[in-house]
Structure 1
């Protein structure tokens, strides 16, 4: 008979107790339903009020209703849907490759001393080199079309996934390893039941940074010889002084990022229900 090591419930119980204590210290209050919409709606309200009263000049920032009108015009007359799909395709492809590569490298480096000595150093060096500074090299290697854009987004997404997942793998409490040795748990089962679940919070935190990084990369690469996409639309708008269309693009980028971050946080709540934190 093989012994099985279960640590998640105990950790979850401790975290729930800690959360209740912290909440009592911070003050009473109930969780606000759909709280993640409060901030954006407040920003929209301030923006609308400023535009309506003239405090925010159109030359500084287009009014929300003018942005809505520009959105309708771009949708009906300039294939806005096609531009959105083109940008989403680049972002999703780059993010997917970056996440897969980051997780694989983190597992090899985090679970093996040899793997860590081979991969960790180069990736730490890469962290000090902004990925966007490598775009001229990527253009020379991959050309200026879709491949360069996807590779840039993938590489810029890889680093946060690797760093936070690797940190999660390496920060497992040593008492669990001692307990596993005491009850005869093998390495494979220890990794499967303790190390990998313990690294999930780090991976999800890395995902939040990776999503933001992917959008940052998307904004930049779409300025290079793009014939479609939100960045292409914004570049044309800048040439013709269409600030309302530029704001449309910025809003779309912001919505992309906010929805993606919300999806990661929602997933984290479900997957890590036993490790709830204050910022959820």
Structure 2
């Protein structure tokens, strides 16, 4: 058999590598549902099939956003909200990671901490508001503390679950190769924990954006949560939905940033499906 025939046979026998889809098309696919839904609602309101008073069409929402942006109010509110989420996220990640690592590494610490933390995790976010106002006042400290509480619990649970799910056999393999304690953590335990930990961070970030709304109900004079309250009190549904849209955009953007920052840490994974 000739070299070319051998090459052809090898190509026929080997499974074809999946063709990589262009990244721009994949990004555009994510806009199909929201943009399509917005266009349909716009058409329904303009055609007289629906009333746009309580649920304004996208054109009116965009107009409201443009007015807020031109006056400078939108950027002021975005800056205030993002600053609170970043501060609360950092504190919540620190607390959740430390508590999760402690409870995962020690059975005694887990028996001591986990029941209390699981009970606190079930408390609704709004229930913390009067307590934090009483303790910390109505200024930034209480708002950041509330966001940190929302972030800490999913990070704690993800860290704890990741540590408890480490396969005992890979630990034994590390000991067979006589890895020291720090080397065992760095080369075996940390890679085993990271995928679950990244998911916990993303969950915590999502809850941080949810908790910031409750935080900004606590007497805030600026922030996207304030825009929601102001729109409700003054009967401005377009302003309310505009603030919700900005929340959605910022939440997605920060999640994408977190994924981009953590992706290099997970390149070692040999997974069936990659994003």
Aligned with residue 95 of structure 1, among 89, 96, 107: 89
Question: How much has 1:181 moved relative to structure 2?
Answer: 2.2
5+ residue gaps, structure 2: 1-14
Provide the C-alpha distance between the structure 1 equivalents of 2:91 and 2:83, rounded to a whole number of angstroms: 12
Aligned with residue 183 of structure 2, among 171, 189, 202: 189
Deviation digits for residues 181-204 of structure 1 (CA, Å, limit 9, x no counterpart): 222222232112211221111111
Aligned with residue 209 of structure 1, among 179, 197, 203: 203
Aligned with residue 105 of structure 2, among 111, 114, 121: 111
Provide the C-alpha distance between the structure 2 equivalents of 1:220 and 1:32, rounded to a whole number of angstroms: 40
Larger displacement relative to structure 2 (208-217 or 106-115): 106-115
Contact kept? 1:201, 1:268, Cα under 8 Å: no
**1:33 is matched with which residue?**
23
Aligned with residue 33 of structure 2, among 38, 42, 65: 42
Give the number of aligned pairs.
256
Q: What root-mean-square deviation, in Å, do the aligned CA atoms of Structure 1 and Structure 2 show?
A: 2.3
Deviation digits for residues 130-181 of structure 1 (CA, Å, limit 9, x no counterpart): 2332222111111122111110000110011111111111211111121122
Q: Residue 184 of structure 1: SS of its match in structure 2?
A: coil
User: Within 5 Å, which residues of 2 pair with 1:1-80?
Assistant: 30-31=20-21, 33-34=23-24, 35-54=26-45, 55-77=49-71, 79-80=73-74
Contact kept? 1:82, 1:229, Cα under 8 Å: yes
**1:156 is matched with which residue?**
150
5+ residue gaps, structure 1: 1-20
**1:17 is matched with which residue?**
none
Q: TM-score, normalised by structure 2?
A: 0.85
Contact kept? 2:151, 2:205, Cα under 8 Å: yes
Q: Does 1:220 align with 2:214?
A: yes
**2:260 is matched with which residue?**
266
Higher RCO by CA contacts (8 Å cutoff, separation 6 or greater)? 1
Larger displacement relative to structure 2 (117-126 or 156-165): 117-126
Contact kept? 1:149, 1:222, Cα under 8 Å: yes
- Structure with higher Rg: it is 2
Question: How much has 1:29 moved relative to structure 2?
Answer: 6.8
